[in-house]
Amino acid sequence: KLLTKDLKVDEVPVRIYQPKWPPTSKRRGVLYFHGGAGTFGSIRAFDRVCRYIAKKCNSVVMSVGYRLAPEHPYPGQYLDCLTATLYFMRNCEEYHVDPALIIIGGDSCGANFATVICQILLNKRDLPKVRAQVLLYPGLQALDFHLPSYQQNASVPILYRKLVIYFCFRYLNKERTAMEDVLQNCHVPESMKSKYKKWISADIIPNEFKIRGYVPHKSTPYKPEVHEAIKEILAITFSPLLAEDSVIHQLPESYIVTCEFDVLRDDGLLYKKRLEDNGVRVTWYHAESAFHGILAFFGYGIFSFLSAEKIMDRTVDFINSL
């Protein structure tokens, strides 16, 4: 039912999925950035997800095989995603895509990339406006690793809390000597903690998400040497939840999926609130029995999960509503 085409856009591999049947009108275009902590994952691994979206939404989907860290250094992943996005936006007519119906999305770190790209594109006046962003269990901040979801799901597969820190260091190709200090939030200056508490705090998380056990984290002393070693994780391109309101209020309509058994759950909840507080329309789906990375199993028969199918069907419903 689909035509697929692999090509390279300035050395960035992409795969384009197009429905075989002729379009009755211009189609939606979906850019998809896969998860994998910026260090693994591939177009092939998320082929089933992209095929499903293309078929069920009668859309043209471009899956971006951004080059992986640490071999391809940070922030090359964002730049690869941006390169592919600019190509798609400038050539959408070639694929019978309506420039007013371009959606940018991804899962996990891919959702992080999608968030950053949507923020960057606000300054590109010569391009079509993004119609919507689709963020599937996004990781959006590295300021606080003691939010309720980090505590509750610290030992829940497949993304443990310590594994998040490990991937941050691997992604940035840093020595891992300060991992334990970062886990305790010693990398954040007091000035930043104070400035961003209004956006990133357990106090903002609704109480129903704290009943599985949450203990307020005691403040830990700031260690300048730890901050210096890993300061990139507090940049907007790594932690887009830290973007100013002047940026957030310009963002397109958004769809956010959170999973209950996911250390990154609260990142999605906090971004949802920020978007809504800034007048951005948000459609939210909370998968109550799902875990982080569940879409990697989507479409694999007996290895697939009902929760993954529900996430994909809700995502398709949102895209079709645009």
Active site residues per annotation = 108, 262, 292
SS3 per residue for 249-310: CCCCEEEEEEEEECCCHHHHHHHHHHHHHCCCCEEEEEEEEEECCHHHHCCCHHHCCHHHHH
Cα 201 from chain centre: 20
Asked whether the beta carbons of 232 and 172 are under 8 A apart, the reply is yes
- Following DSSP, what letter does each residue of 61-113 receive, concatenated? EEEE-PPPTTTS-TTHHHHHHHHHHHHHHHTGGGGTEEEEEEEEEEETHHHHH
Per-residue tokens: 92 = 């959408």
* Cβ partners under 8 Å of residue 143, min gap 6: 185, 188, 192, 193, 196, 200, 234, 239, 241, 242
Cα 82 from chain centre: 14
Q: For 137-159, give one letter per residue: b (16+ CB within 10 A) or e.
A: bbbbbbbbbbbbbbbbbbebeeb
Per-residue tokens: 319 = 């895209």
Rounded (5°) CA angle 199-203-204: 50
* Cβ partners under 8 Å of residue 148, min gap 6: 202, 205, 209, 210, 212, 214, 266
Q: How far apart are CA 283 and CA 286, in angstroms?
A: 10
The type of residue at 198 is K
